Amino acid sequence: MAQVLEFRLPDLGEGLTEALIVRWLVEVGEVVAVDQPVVEVETAKAMVDVPCPYGGVVTARFGEEGTELPVGSPLVTVAVGTPADTDAAGDTAEGSGNVLVGYGTSEAPARRRRVRRDQTPPAAPAAPKDTAAVKDTAAQASAPARVDGSVPVISPLVRRLARENGLDLRELAGSGPNGLILRADVELALRAGATRPGPSAPASTPAEVPASVAQPTSTSATIEGTRVPLKGIRGAVADKLSRSRREIPDATCWVDADATELMRARASMNAGGGPKISLLALLARICTAALTRYPELNSTVDPAAREIVRLDRVHLGFAAQTERGLVVPVVRDAHTRNTGALSAEIARLTEAARTGALTPAELTGGTFTLNNYGVFGVDGSTPILNHPEAAMLGVGRIVPKPWVHEGGLAVRQVVQLSFTFDHRVCDGGTAGGFLRYVADCVEQPAVLLRTL
């Protein structure tokens, strides 16, 4: 007799709490093998194919494409042990243990939750004929009773968003499975609350507020235009940049530099054949050398302990614009890599970013960011720090400009460098010293060799 096993959305790592269903890869009634991807999801970090650790017949799918699910929500149920699926999937009662390729599992297969034959998956019938039936069933589920002030929410992000805005989660009815409160529920409540006067505000009368300037009762009803949900990468970027602006007192300094010699050095390095060295890799090598001289800039601030944490390893992030939005892949242990190794790793991560193949681990943990906004044809910028990092080097476009060189006016390849830093970790002298060292290496690459 078949055994019905429930597979839930696994912890995708790095503190991610939810994912958006992009595309289902299997249909209800389809036979799947162990570790076969069943759904493609988008997290705040990357696109991920989620493989199912069980082999058998898919009896239910939970959530339609475009639906955002919290970690721990049911994804699919699979009937295993039937004659029809034994040949295709093999003996699968224990599963593979590889809940997510590249991430492993949070617990051993022997301890994995099972649904007995006499149990029914809690959020839907055992075998609905289509995903619409699953959705209808989940929508009809009543919110769980709240005992001793408990709130049906598992996402720390949702709790923090409500706490920061003074919203009592106990007053909300969740739209997720079994009444689970999602981020969308909190944001909807905040938007609705923004249109109501606070308790201390006196009620307005028609004589006090002319009809022509009366406040609207519904933001959605009065603002016209196309609405784009802040989800996935766009939402994660918005949250992170907002937090950076709130918490970090940043400052920016900049300088123009003559990059002619750096461009010549790169051309010379690439003239001998072999793997090409990118300009970004040269700048990355300069950054790691500068951080060796100014280690206080490779740090973060622990506000709770009122301490600056100086980091021993340089994990260098670099900003990359993709079709899915801005991402910052991270080169691990950049301080241990030479220019060639940096160039190869940057190229690999850039290609993975373009194809959406970056893993969460490759998008987190950076300690310093290199931002080459010159690729957009601009000279300067005052970027927002990549929280919780303390510094970022910005590089503008390299263009021919008039420049005083060796006592005379000449046309040189000039670049504007900007340096944004957390003023809590250092003063302007340290930031200026860092930027001046970078500019000296750009103008005279031999400086880098002399100081290594």
- Ranges of residues in the chain with a pLDDT under 50 are 85-94, 97-150, 195-218
What is the structure's pLDDT at 47?
A: 73
**Residue 302 and residue 382 share a domain:** yes
Q: Identify whether 306 is part of a domain.
A: yes
- Cis before residue 109, ω within 30 degrees of 0? no
Split into its structural domains, the chain has a count of: 3
User: How many residues in the chain?
Assistant: 452
**Residue 272 and residue 133 share a domain:** no
Q: Are the CB atoms for 401 and 391 separated by under 8 Å? A: no
**Residue 156 and residue 87 share a domain:** no
Handedness of CA 383, 389, 391, 397 (dihedral sign): negative
What is the structure's pLDDT at 164?
A: 76
Say whether 423 is catalytic.
yes
Domain that holds residue 103: 3-137
**Residue 385 and residue 347 share a domain:** yes
How far apart are alpha carbons 109 and 92 in whole angstroms? 11
What is the structure's pLDDT at 1?
A: 65
What is the structure's pLDDT at 359?
A: 84
Domain of 178, CATH number, reads 4.10.320.10
- DSSP letter, residue 108: -
Give me 77's structure tokens: 């149920």
Say whether 91 is catalytic.
no
**Residue 120 and residue 156 share a domain:** no
Q: Are strands 307-310 and 299-302 parallel, antiparallel or unpaired?
A: antiparallel
Cα–Cα nearest to 317, from 275, 358, 259, 263: 358
**Residue 285 and residue 179 share a domain:** no
Considering the entire predicted model, what is its pTM?
0.58
What is the structure's pLDDT at 318?
A: 95
**Residue 442 and residue 353 share a domain:** yes
**Residue 24 and residue 161 share a domain:** no
What is the structure's pLDDT at 83?
A: 52
**Residue 125 and residue 182 share a domain:** no
